[in-house]
Amino acid sequence: MKKVAEFLESKMPPKDKPILHTAYDAFFTFAFAPKSTTQNGVHVRDGMDLKRLMVHVVIGLQLLYLFGTYNIGHQHFVALGEYTGFFEGLNLKLAYGLIKMIPLFIVANAVGLGIEFWYAAKRGHAVEEGYLVTGALIPLIMPPDLPMWILALSIVFAVIIGKEAFGGTGMNVFNIALLARVFVFFAYPTTISGDQVWVAGFDEIAAGAAPTYGWAEGAFNSLFESLSWPTFNSASSIVDGYTGATPLGLAYEGGWSAVTDVYSSQQMLWGSIPGSVGESNKIFILIGLAFLTITGIASWRIIFSVIAGAAVMGLALNAWGATPFMEVAWYNHFLMGSLLFAAVYMATDPVTASQTSTGKYIYGFLIGAVGLIVRVLNPAYPEGWMLAILFMNAFAPLIDHYVVEANMKRRMKRLKNRSTSLPTLTEAEVQSTAEAATA
């Protein structure tokens, strides 16, 4: 393998061809670990460069990708009243999920990495690796039917305005994936909010609405028929009484009882509900949490404090109890929406989060508290983690500043106390001590 790496490195285009050199270098350093590992000397370096660190996060997302892709298809057929058992019509659900998921992933990465490559070539340095995680997160937080041009426009805004304008990876103030989502939310709100957008494949979620399969029906049905598998049927329609409402929408209207009339706690725990692709399966999010904390990639302090902040604010709202949503038990909030996903994968962004240990606790706690306030008290947007994290991104440097200032004041106080407690020597004692030292 070492000889292969050396051979491929020898074929790298020269730097006077910046586009080719940048592209080749990006793929080479992705495939091979850096050579700057410790051989001798005092500096400790290992093979965990930024690319490999980011790849760990992408690995932690794979179960969510697998489940979310399948759940896109599952929710589509539940709306039609077909194959309502989770594992019924498996081939159709997986195929339909891939039809929706693959374009999201390709556009998210092609546009974002294209911008990264252009800026890297323009500046004459290697491609920055931060977009590996951003490109993996964006498809998981967008509606499956989001128009591709809106997705592309949101990524252009997020990467150029949110990152490159500040100097690139490691210099951005705000989480790039959330900037892309917030752009869509404020610029094209009807494509990302409400109950109509989380079930794919229909022009509107209403009884009698027919699915839109397009080319997929002809492309897949002949294969499925040859295998005696279920096939797509464009003559189907949404069954009476189906709304596509998410647990959060139901909770806002009628509290926890309205949620459990439609979805069981087990459904919400395992994620067989409408919602963002990556947020629904809480079990797989917890597996990702364990993987990222054990490997040291994500800060457990931030995750713990986000959960604590949401729990404390949930208890406070329970005590207030002015609306049905406020009466939802604090622990049930963890079954709905993207609270856990935001805590594990969004709040822990190492660039935009607080850097000090104490600051991480404060930063995470405020995200949990503010996010739940927005979720419960904001009638226009019954979810708050995107806004809470971006809000706290702006305050993270200020939190770290005051934590460092407080540490410095405590140390100065200890130093002054020590200096005043030292005994004062007479001139004769100083002289005798000096003579003894030179004897």
Other beta carbons within 10 angstroms of residue 311's beta carbon come to: 17
DSSP string computed for 308-365: HHHHHHHHHHHHH--STTTTS-GGGGGGSTTHHHIIIIITT-TTTS--SHHHHHHHHH
Q: Say whether both 24 and 55 belong to one domain.
A: no
* Whole-angstrom distance, CA of residue 72 vs CA of residue 92: 11
Quote the DSSP letter at residue 209: P
Q: Check: CB of residue 150 under 8 Å from CB of residue 191.
A: yes
Residues 194 and 270 in one domain: no
Evaluate whether residue 39 is within a structural domain.
no
What pLDDT score does 208 carry?
Answer: 92
- 198 inside domain: yes
pLDDT at res. 284: 97
Mark whether 255 and 213 lie in a shared domain: no
- Give me the pLDDT at residue 23, please: 56
Kindly report the length of the chain.
439
Residue 43 has a pLDDT of 45
Centroid of chain to Cα 21: 31
In a domain, 350, yes or no: yes
Q: For residue 434, what pLDDT is reported?
A: 59
- Is residue 417 classed exposed, middle or buried when 0-12, 13-18 and 19+ CB atoms within 10 A define those classes? exposed
Q: What is the pLDDT of residue 168?
A: 80
pTM of the model: 0.85
- How many domains would you assign to the chain? 3
CA dihedral sign, ordered 134, 138, 139, 141: positive
131-184 pLDDT, tens digit each: 888 999 999 999 999 999 999 999 999 999 999 888 887 788 999 999 999 999
In the block, which residue shows the tokens 């995470």? 364
Same domain, 193 and 306: no
Render pLDDT for 7-64 as a digit per residue (tens, 0 to 9): 555 656 665 555 555 555 555 555 555 555 545 544 444 555 566 677 889 999 999 9
Q: Which residues of the chain have pLDDT under 50?
A: 38, 41-45
Domain containing 19 equals: 2-31
Say what the pLDDT of residue 143 is: 93
Do 234 and 259 share a domain, yes or no? no
Tell whether 194 is covered by a domain.
yes
255 and 307 housed in the same domain:
yes
Residue 89 lies in a domain: yes
Of the candidates 294, 209, 288, which has an alpha carbon nearest to the alpha carbon of residue 243?
209
pLDDT of residue 327: 95
Instruction: Assess whether 321 and 226 both reside in one domain.
Output: no
Instruction: Specify whether 289 is located in the same domain as 239.
Output: no
Report pLDDT for 6.
58
Give the sign of the dihedral formed by CA 177, CA 183, CA 188, CA 192: positive
Structure tokens at 224: 């499925």
In a domain, 232, yes or no: yes
Measured distance CA(329)–CA(315) in Å, rounded: 8
On whether both 138 and 177 belong to a single domain, the answer is yes
Q: Which residues contact 10 (CB under 8 A, 6 or more apart)?
A: none
Q: Is residue 38 part of a domain?
A: no
Instruction: Let me know whether 271 and 327 are in one domain.
Output: yes
Contact, 325 vs 252, CB < 8 A? yes
Identify whether 158 is part of a domain.
Answer: yes
Q: How remote is the C-alpha of 80 from its chain's centroid?
A: 31
Confidence at residue 42, expressed as pLDDT on a 0 to 100 scale: 45
User: Are residues 206 and 178 part of one domain?
Assistant: yes
347, 366: one domain: yes
